[in-house]
Amino acid sequence: MNILLTADPELPVPPTLYGGIERILDLLAEGLRQRGHRVGLVAHRDSTCAVDAFYPWPGLSSQSRWDTLRNTAALWQAVQRFQPDMLHSFSRLQYLLPLLPTALPKVMSYQRQPTGRTVGLAAKLAGPSLTFTGCSEHICRQGRPAGGQWHPIHNCVQLEKFTFQPQVAADAPLVFLSRLDPIKGAHNAIAAAQRANRRLLIAGNRIDTPAGNAYWESEIAPHLVPGAIEYVGPVDDAQKNALLGQAAAMIVPIEWDEPFGIVFAEAMACGTPVLSTPRGSLPEIVRPGVDGFLVKSVDEAVGAIAQLPTLQRRDCRQRVVDCFSAEAVVSQYEALYRRQVTATRQPLRSTAPAKSESSADLRRECDAPSSQPAPE
C-alpha cells in the first residue's frame, strides 16, 4: 500500500528532544516500510524520518488560521502527488477538510480528548471513508458519542532502547519520572516513600511558571534529603533507561485522566513495575498484582510498595512485548488500514469537492484553538 502519514507542524519527526507522538510516528513509518509498504510523510520541514516521499508543511503553527489554510492546501497537493491508498492523520482534523467527502480511506488519530462537534461534522462529511483511533479506550469512549467508528490503538515504545533488568537490589529505590506538575503526583510519591521508609529518586522537568515554582518550593524542595528523597533533574533516553532499570518500581500517582502515558510502558519495558492510580488509561496499561498496582490513596500506595516483591519483572517486560511494542502496534495499524481500504473501494476524486454547509461548519469549528518473547 501507499500510506501517507501526517504529523502536527510544530516538531520534526523524529523530534530532536521531547516529542512523544513524533517518536511514535517515526517508529510507525519504519515498521510499515519494513513490511513492504511505501510511506509518505507530511511534517515539519526539519524532519529526518526515513520515508519514500516527504512533503514539508508550509505553516509551523497548528493554532494559526493562516497556517491552517496553507497546510490544508499543502495536504491536498501531497495527496495528488503521492496518490495514497491510505491517509493517516496525527495532525489537525481541519487539514483533512477538502478530502473528507472523497472516497480516499482515511484514519484520524487522537492523543487527547477529541472535540465532539468537530468529530461529528467530520464523520457526517466523510461517511465510511473515515475512521478514528484513540491512544486508549479511555480516549475512544470520549469520542464515540459524537459519531464515527472508533478503535483503541495504544502508543508504543522501541524495545531496543530499554534494557530488561530481571532483578534489582533488595534496597533498590523507587523512581518518579514525569514533569513536576501537581497532576503527576510527585507530592504523593514523596509521602508514600517517606511512610514506607524507601529511597525515592525524582526525575523530570521543573515547570518554570509562578504556579510551577510554587509547587516546587512548597511540595518538593522541603522534602529533599540526600540518600532518601533526591531530585536528579531531567533525563535523556540513556539516563532514563538506566534510572528505570535500577528501580524497584516507578511511582507516578497521577491526579488527572492520563490519555496514555508512554513512560508507564517504558518502565515496564525495563521490567520495572508501575505504581499509579486508576485514572484515564492506566487500567488499560497496568494489570494490578501483575505489572504493578493502582492505588487510590497514600495508604494504599504504602501497602502496594510492601507487595512489590510478589511481582515478576519478566511479566512487566512481556506485557510491553505483547501490547506496547512497535511490532505489536504497527500490526494493529496495518490491520486497520486493510479493513478501511476494503470498506472503501472507490477511486480518489481528482478535483476538490464542492463546498457544503457541513464543511463550512467544520471549518469554523476547527478554527477555534484547539510477538517476540521477553529476553532471558
Instruction: With cut-offs at 50, 70 and 90, classify the pLDDT of residue 18.
Output: low
CATH numeric code, 2-156+326-367: 3.40.50.2000
Residue type, 175: V
245, pLDDT greater than 90: yes
Least confident span in 170-179, 234-243, 299-308, 350-359: 350-359
Q: Quick one: pLDDT at residue 58?
A: 98
Q: Quick one: pLDDT at residue 291?
A: 96
**Secondary structure E strands in the chain:** 2-6, 38-43, 53-56, 86-89, 106-110, 130-134, 150-152, 174-177, 200-203, 229-233, 249-251, 274-276, 292-294
Q: How far apart are CA 136 and CA 154, in angstroms?
A: 5
Task: Share the mean pLDDT of the chain.
Answer: 92
Mention every residue, 6+ apart, whose C-beta is less than 8 A from residue 11. 19, 22, 44
Mention every residue, 6+ apart, whose C-beta is less than 8 A from residue 205. 179, 180, 234
Q: How far apart are CA 1 and CA 296, in angstroms?
A: 46
Q: What are phi and psi of 6, to 5 degrees?
A: -130, 145
Using alpha carbons, select from 195, 193, 300, 299 the residue that is nearest to residue 250. Answer: 193
pLDDT tens-place string over residues 255-283: 999 999 999 999 999 999 999 999 999 99
3.30.70.370, 3.40.640.10, 3.40.50.2000, 3.40.50.2300: which CATH number matches 159-323?
3.40.50.2000
% of the chain surpassing 90 pLDDT? 89
Domain locations in the chain as residue ranges: 2-156+326-367, 159-323
* Higher-scoring residue by pLDDT: 374, 146: 146
| For the chain, the helix, strand and coil percentages under 3-state DSSP, each to the nearest 5 | 45, 15, 40
> Cα angle at 330 between 130 and 151, to 5 degrees?
40
pLDDT tens-place string over residues 306-322: 999 999 999 999 999 99
Q: Quick one: pLDDT at residue 15?
A: 87
Signed CA dihedral, 344, 102, 84, 146: sign only: negative
182, pLDDT greater than 80: yes
219, pLDDT greater than 50: yes
Q: Quick one: pLDDT at residue 356?
A: 38
Burial class (CB in 10 A: 0-12, 13-18, 19+), 122: buried
Instruction: With cut-offs at 50, 70 and 90, classify the pLDDT of residue 344.
Output: confident
Q: Quick one: pLDDT at residue 368?
A: 40
Q: Quick one: pLDDT at residue 135?
A: 97
Q: Quick one: pLDDT at residue 297?
A: 98
**102 contacts 348 by C-beta, under 8 angstroms:** yes
Q: Is it true that 2-156+326-367 and 159-323 share their CATH fold?
A: yes
Strand order in the sheet with 2-6: 53-56, 38-43, 2-6, 86-89, 106-110, 130-134, 150-152
End-to-end CA distance of the chain: 36
Instruction: Quote the pTM value.
Output: 0.89
> Average pLDDT in the 104-121 region?
96
pLDDT tens-place string over residues 123-150: 999 999 999 999 999 999 999 999 999 9
**Rg of the chain, C-alpha, whole Å:** 22
Q: How far apart are CA 105 and CA 89, in angstroms?
A: 11
Q: How far apart are CA 297 and CA 234, in angstroms?
A: 27
345, pLDDT greater than 80: no
226, pLDDT greater than 80: yes
